[in-house]
Amino acid sequence: MTITDQLIKFAGVTPPKDALTMMRLSLFDWAACGIAGAREPDFADFVAGQLARGQGPATVIGGTSAPATTAALINGTLSHALDYDDTHFAHIGHPSVAVIPAVLALAEEVDAPLEEVIEAATIGVEASILTGIWLGRAHYQVGYHQTATAGAFGAALGSARLLGLEPDEIRNALGLCASMASGLKAQFGTMGKPLNAGLAARTGVEATLWAQSGMTAAHDGLAGPLGFGPTHHGQEEEVKPGKGDWHITSISHKFHACCHGLHAMLEAFGEARFCPDDVASIHIRTHPRWMSVCNIAEPTTGLAAKFSYAQTAAMTLLGHDTGAIASFIDAICVDVDVLAMREKIKISEDERLTETQVEISVKMDNGGLRRFRHDLLEPMSLEQRSEKLKSKGAAVLGDTRADTLWQVAQGDTLRDLTDQLLIS
């Protein structure tokens, strides 16, 4: 059975409860990232240009409505604009930003209950991770952005589930996706990166709607001759849809508004209890991969601060909330206390550590030595994850707004959720 046949069958599976619960958390997290992302001025002209093309039934985050394809494109882009959304490390991709905008936009067209949206999004997110695992590390390493490529197939399968497509129609939707899914890591550091997520969401919607309208496509667009895998450096790794724990249950959420390479360190400091005034020096050891990614020694802008071990370490030690987007401003890079703390911090690479691990040694003024370590893959209880996500939401949107958003994301009514997305 090829991956195409596996995904067609998987579209009809009932997700387990823990997968659905995690999807509810990711929906809340995605919505918070999207509402915050829509406040950024960078994409305003792009959004206005899309909205000028016509109205429709699907909510566009931050204030209006459009056809489902347009809403998926805009919402996917805006919710990834801050790079603060969820990640899965099995394939290295951001699943929610591709899948949720697609499923949500179509759900508004057919007026589906929120429960069905959650089910379809769960199928879609899991399908994107499975497709990403099937494509493998070679696909990612050569330059493809899994968020966009695997994401488009996940968005299509989630959309197909929501609209109840027949198996032959799903086959054509995946076949069309094989010609449309695209997106390069070459865009990192530009507006093209969030756009990749929006394009994946739109591709999912379009491939599904076009297949439903009778368009035909490659019989096995993923694994067949000249298919997406063979052409896109796919490794055709084995996957087992629906068997064992679902991958979505090991999704990672960001709790700091900066590069994911800094998160293990920030979590380690979060668990530590000592007074910053008593610190003599700090030594942080991390995986070599991150040295070229997020080790800017002396950042001078809020954006550069998001890619600096020393800067973010100093910020969190001095009580600045690294979960709040507003903390990352240019002024924080010239704060005298932060600068003084930065001076005490040394970073070095350590090949013993994995990409998700960090080790920290803190020498105190009194000569004492404290050691901390953290691994992002350590299991987190549902309660702990919920609390951390609520805190993140509050840091991003304020307490009241985050509380309301939490309620509607746990509720039954799609309209209650989309009404929240409309408020900028």
Residues ≥6 apart with Cβ < 8 Å to 113: 412, 413, 414
Q: Which two tokens stand for residue 301?
A: 């802008």
Q: Choose between 52 and 331: whose C-beta lies nearer to a copy of itself.
A: 52
Find the helix or strand (DSSP H, E) in which 348 lies. strand 345-349
Stretch that binds a copy of itself, among 175-183, 268-276, 371-379, 389-397 (CB under 8 A): 175-183
Q: How far is the CB of 143 from a copy of itself (least distance, A)?
A: 3
The answer to whether 381 contacts a copy of itself (rule: CB under 8 A) is no
Q: Nearest approach, Cβ of 43 to a copy of itself (angstroms)?
A: 8
Q: How far is the CB of 98 from a copy of itself (least distance, A)?
A: 14
Which range of residues in 26-34, 43-51, 304-312, 366-374 is near a copy of itself by CB under 8 A?
A: 43-51
Of 25 and 181, nearer to a copy of itself (C-beta) is 181
At 354 the three-state DSSP class reads: coil
**Smallest separation, CB 356 to a copy of itself (Å):** 23
Q: Does 186 participate in binding a copy of itself (rule CB under 8 A)?
A: yes
Cα(367)–Cα(362) distance, integer angstroms: 10
Contact 112, 235 (CB under 8 A): no
Q: Interaction with a copy of itself in 204-263: which residues (CB under 8 A)?
A: 209-210, 213-218, 221, 224-228, 230-233
Contact, 166 vs 64, CB < 8 A?
A: no
Q: Binding a copy of itself by CB under 8 A: which of 95, 183, 234, 261? A: 183
- The DSSP bridge partners found for residue 284 are 347, 360
| 230 vs 398 by CB, closer to a copy of itself | 230
SS3 state at 255: coil
Contact between 190 and a copy of itself (CB under 8 A)?
yes
Contact between 367 and a copy of itself by CB under 8 A: the answer reads no
- Ranges within 129-168 binding a copy of itself (CB under 8 A): 142-145, 148
Q: Is the dihedral of CA 320, 324, 328, 329 positive or negative?
A: negative
Neighbours of 12 (CB within 10 A): 13
Among 36, 60, 180, 265, binds a copy of itself (CB under 8 A): 180
Judged by CB, which is closer to a copy of itself: 33, or 195? 195
Residue 233 or residue 370: which is nearer to a copy of itself going by CB?
233
Instruction: Work out which of 15, 62, 67, 158 binds a copy of itself, going by CB under 8 A.
Output: 67
Q: DSSP letter for 93, please.
A: B
Say how many CA atoms lie within 13 Å of 400 toward its Cβ. Answer: 0
Q: What are phi and psi of 358, to 5 degrees?
A: -145, 150
d(CA 309, CA 295): 5
Helix H or strand E segment including 264: helix 263-271
Binding stretches for a copy of itself (CB under 8 A): 42-43, 45-46, 49, 53-56, 67, 69-70, 142-145, 148, 175-176, 178-187, 190-192, 195-196, 199, 209-210, 213-218, 221, 224-228, 230-233
